[in-house]
Amino acid sequence: MRGEAPLSRLNFLLPSWIEPAAMDRSKIGGVTMNVGILTGGGDCPGLNAVIRAVVKRGTQLGHGFTGIKDGWKGLLNRSTIKLDAEAVLGILQAGGTMLGTSRTNPLKSRADTDSLMKNIKALDLDSLVCIGGDDTLGVAAKLFSMGIKTVGVPKTIDNDLSATDFTFGFDTAINVVTESMDRLRSTAESHHRVMVVEVMGRHAGWIAVYGGMAGGADAILIPEKPFDIDEVCACVNRRSEAGTLFSLIVAAEGAVPKEGNMITQNGELDAFGHVRLGGVGEFLAREIEKRTNHESRHVVLGHLQRGGSPTAFDRVLATRLGVRAAELISEGRFGRMVALQGNRIVDVSLEEATGKTKTVDMELFRTAGVFFG
Ligand code: F6P
């Protein structure tokens, strides 16, 4: 902790339109800190918007910032960049993360854990804002139990974090899926083909359900409900018997055949123990063509879903979460994660928010099912 910031400086930094409540220094703690910010795990649109919001609001509250490069990896090798209001100018609309990211797990070995703790001290970091998915936030929760003042901001295109209704990045991803479906529809229709679209999402089918519904899919296959290949083929046949000679099928990368296993790229696990999913689209297209005689193709949308500018929804959500995260620092509320519940930004315990995958709401899936084949 750095002690009190001069009140005159704070007054200068706070624009007149900030509500008086936010200017009440006894409410916001009145303590300035050197706050480390990092982004970990897979990137997603909106990360820069969060960084900008944390730095802007945090600067108003008198804090200083250190950008940590490439997630936890940057804390293991003391790789940092200067982060101030000027450094975050013009990044709201930029995809990816200006800080870089990695899937490094800093608590994997005792030696890494020790150097992480040593480096937090050496870099003079009073607190950490950790922007990430379940893995990054799981580390933030663990570090909090070890005495480090952490605040979490949930991100992932997969939308699979419990305790928050939506994660930023998800809306951008489903818009990519929707636009792709619109494009694939015209070519599928022209060639009288079945088009299987494989989307991301890991072990949750949120991207598949929202993207599939918005794109008018004739079947949506999700990890939460193992699929029967005969039923998928029956759907294609029903449509062609009724005179519609093309079909659009959305498959989540984690979708599993009823009698079979999840399809993976290889058996390798990342630092947090995840396998690389992928291949179900190709498998389905091959099987559908073999069993129905309808010409079939597959498209893997892959990282296109993670790239590019965030949508307006994601920019606003990321900004709201970032502003609130900076305020939690001032209020001394650590070990917390900011979250969207209903239309309110709340904060929840990091420990309770991590470790549970939020799977697809079956009510929503039933609604999607009304429009299948
Ligand atoms: O968690 C986000 C995500 O895009 C998943 O949907 C996907 O399975 C995974 O990351 C891909 O990871 P990578 O970028 O390491 O290939």
Q: What is the pLDDT of residues 78-94, one digit of tens each?
A: 999 999 999 999 999 99
Domains and CATH numbers, the chain: 7-168+310-354 (3.40.50.450), 173-306 (3.40.50.460)
Q: How far is the centre of ligand 1, averaged over its atoms, from the C-alpha of 42 (Å)? A: 6
Q: Is 106 in the pocket of ligand 1 (CB under 6 A)?
A: no
Residue of 43, 135, 158, 218 marked catalytic: 158
Q: How confident is the model at residue 25 (pLDDT cuts 50, 70, 90)?
A: very low
Q: Cβ(157) to ligand 1 under 6 A?
A: yes
Contact 21, 83 (CB under 8 A): no
Classify residue 7 by burial, with Cβ atoms within 10 Å: 0-12, 13-18, 19+.
exposed
Please tell me the distance between residue 329's alpha carbon and the centre of ligand 1 in angstroms.
Answer: 30
What separation in Å is there between the alpha carbon of 200 and the centre of ligand 1? Answer: 7
Distance CA 288, CA 300 (A): 16
pLDDT tens digits along 289-336 = 999 999 999 999 999 999 999 999 999 999 999 999 999 999 999 999
Least confident of 20-29, 88-97, 112-121, 364-373: 20-29
d(CA 164, CA 30): 29
Residue 202 phi, psi (nearest 5): 55, -125
What's the full length of the chain, in residues? 373
Tens digits of residue pLDDT in 33-60: 999 999 999 999 999 999 999 999 999 9
Query: Is-contact 118 103, C-beta < 8 A?
Result: no
Ligand 1 lined by 306 (C-beta under 6 Å): yes
202 lines ligand 1 (CB under 6 A): yes
**Helical spans, DSSP H, in 95-228:** 110-122, 134-145, 170-191, 206-214
The residue-averaged pLDDT of 174-196 equals: 98
* pTM attached to this predicted model: 0.92
84 catalytically annotated: no
Q: Are the C-beta atoms of 195 and 248 separated by less than 8 Å?
A: yes
Residue 265 in contact with residue 213, Cβ under 8 Å? no
Residues 12-21: contacts with CB under 8 Å, at least 24 apart: 13/59, 13/60, 13/62, 14/60, 15/60, 18/60
How many whole angstroms from its chain centre is CA 75?
21
Residue 14, strand partner residues = none
Spatial distance between the Cα atoms of 12 and 237, rounded to a whole number of angstroms = 69
The finding on whether 61 has its CB within 6 A of some atom of ligand 1 is no
Out of 186-190, 225-229, 266-270, least confident range: 266-270
Helix (DSSP H) and strand (DSSP E) numbers for the chain: 14, 13
* Residue 67, pLDDT above cutoff 70: yes
